């Protein structure tokens, strides 16, 4: 009986290593990997997917609600990937960094360029200049010229009045609680 079982196992091994069987198994694995990758790719487009990494959760929560600009963007229908454009390779790299612990906590603040902000807010900028003329100063029409938006406007952190580093204007008291207005030396 043992010889017969040995022959049966040998026949099974030979059958599995036949090119057609091996190609079929390989093709099935490729299809499963492609479907799983597609599902993961679609899921990664949703903001809640970003929060699956515990280091991203506070940023997701600030987008989901609260007083910060991220929540105001969410109310306007802006999702994470509308600002955080990343290639699939970059996303995979971030996932690997998360899994290996190769990241800073809290994450380094990302400084968006004025061009990135104005790609959506071009029309809003002219309105902002007009709406923020407080008589004694206009933060959007600064004596410094055009300054980068991110110097004041923060998405997932409290925004800061850049002017407050040197000036103490009366309009600071009228800002909502999403703004930090203390002078730098205070």
Number of domains into which the chain is organized: 3
Residues 78-99: pLDDT tens digits? 988 888 888 888 888 888 998 8
Whether the pLDDT of residue 15 is over 60: the answer is: no
- pLDDT at residue 75 in the model: 95
In a shared domain, residues 139 and 104: no
Q: Give me the torsion for CA of 62, 105, 112, 161, rounded to 10°.
A: 70
The better pLDDT of the pair 138, 1 is held by: 138
Burial of 178 (0-12, 13-18, 19+ CB in 10 A): middle
Task: Place 9 in a pLDDT band, splitting at 50, 70 and 90.
Answer: low
Q: Is residue 67 part of a domain?
A: yes
pTM of full prediction above 0.85: no
What is the spatial distance between Cα 71 and Cα 164, in angstroms, rounded to a whole number?
24
Residues 97-151: pLDDT tens digits? 988 999 998 888 888 998 899 889 887 788 888 888 888 899 998 888 888 999 9
What is the spatial distance between Cα 69 and Cα 66, in angstroms, rounded to a whole number?
9
Q: Is residue 186 part of a domain?
A: no
Q: Which residues contact 50 (CB under 8 A, 6 or more apart)?
A: 56, 59, 60, 80
Residue carrying structure tokens 């902000």: 117
User: What average pLDDT does range 55-65 have in this prediction?
Assistant: 91
In a shared domain, residues 123 and 170: yes
In a shared domain, residues 28 and 58: no
- pLDDT at residue 155 in the model: 92
- pLDDT at residue 71 in the model: 94
Query: Domain range holding 84?
Result: 48-108
């Amino acid at each position: 009986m043992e010889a017969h079982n040995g022959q049966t196992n040998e026949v099974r091994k030979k059958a599995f290593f036949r090119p057609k069987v091996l190609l079929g198994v390989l093709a099935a694995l490729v299809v499963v990997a492609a479907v799983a990758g597609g599902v993961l790719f679609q899921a990664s487009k949703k903001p809640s997917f970003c929060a699956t990494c515990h280091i991203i959760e506070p940023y997701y929560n600030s987008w989901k609600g609260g007083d910060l600009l991220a929540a105001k963007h969410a109310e306007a229908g802006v999702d994470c990937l509308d600002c955080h454009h990343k290639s699939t390779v970059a996303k995979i790299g971030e996932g690997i960094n998360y899994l290996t612990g190769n990241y800073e906590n809290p994450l380094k603040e990302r400084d968006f360029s004025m061009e990135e902000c104005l790609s959506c807010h071009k029309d809003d900028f002219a309105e902002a200049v007009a709406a923020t003329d407080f008589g004694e100063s206009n933060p959007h029409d600064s004596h410094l010229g055009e300054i980068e938006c991110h110097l004041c406007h923060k998405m997932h952190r409290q925004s800061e009045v850049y002017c407050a580093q040197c000036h103490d204007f009366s309009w600071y008291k009228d800002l909502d609680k999403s703004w930090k207005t203390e002078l730098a030396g205070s």
